[in-house]
Amino acid sequence: AKVVDLEPLLVTGEIAERDIDRIRIDQPVGVRFVGGGETTGVVSYVSKVSSNTARTFRIEVTVDNANGRLGEGLTTELRLETGSVRAHRVTPAILTLSDDGVVGVKAVDADGRVLFHKATVVADEPGGVWLGGLPESLTLITIGQEFVRIGQVVKPVEEKAGAKQ
């Protein structure tokens, strides 16, 4: 028989070396279970030694499990806030690649000229991605972005919020 202590529950994860300096003990963590359900926890351990292959650092998150509803071995997604960034939530279907392979979006300026904006995916979630590195306000091309060229003048048709096409 195996005796397992599930209170508190310990969730482990790996943090990339570029982000490790933004993680601290007692930092709040959002925990989403792949099978459904969400809870919160706190960082209880941050390794000082990286893995040799992935160059990531192990972290441990302590989650309250007083009711015993959470079991061992569940797959989770951890969300740690490491700072704030201005971002736009969009459908991943509008992402496009520049001729040099850079990820971004196509937009139009006030004159209807097609522009390419490099974008950084700062988070993803069901139904959308959060893009950073974009202007605060822009008119995105949401349909047909693969059929227009940078610099081409187009006549955009504005989509109503919540409209289906």
Domains defined for the chain, CATH in brackets: 9-80 (2.40.30.170), 88-147 (2.40.420.20)
Yes or no: say if 88 and 131 are a contact pair by the CB < 8 Å rule. yes
**What pLDDT sits at residue 5?**
67
pLDDT (tens digit, 9 = 90+) per residue, 123-137?
888 889 999 999 999
If DSSP states are collapsed to H, E and C, what string results for 23-77? CCCCCEEEEEECCCCEEEEEEEEEEEEECCCCCEEEEEEEECCCCCCCCCCCCEE
Mean pLDDT of 7-23: 87
Pairwise CA distance, residues 24 & 123, whole Å:
20
Q: Check whether 163 has a pLDDT greater than 60.
A: no
Query: Does residue 22 carry a pLDDT above 50?
Result: yes
What mean pLDDT is reported for the chain?
Answer: 87
The arithmetic mean of pLDDT across residues 107-111, rounded, is 95
Nearest in space to 150 (alpha carbons), one of 118, 119, 110, 107? 107
- Predicted confidence at residue 165, as pLDDT, reads 46
Tell me the residue type at 116. F
Q: Is the pLDDT of residue 2 over 80?
A: no
Closest to 46 measured CA to CA, from 7, 77, 13? 13
| pLDDT confidence band for 66 (50 / 70 / 90) | confident
Are 62 and 9 contacting, i.e. CB atoms less than 8 angstroms apart?
yes
Q: What would the mean pLDDT of 52-67 be, rounded to a whole number? A: 86
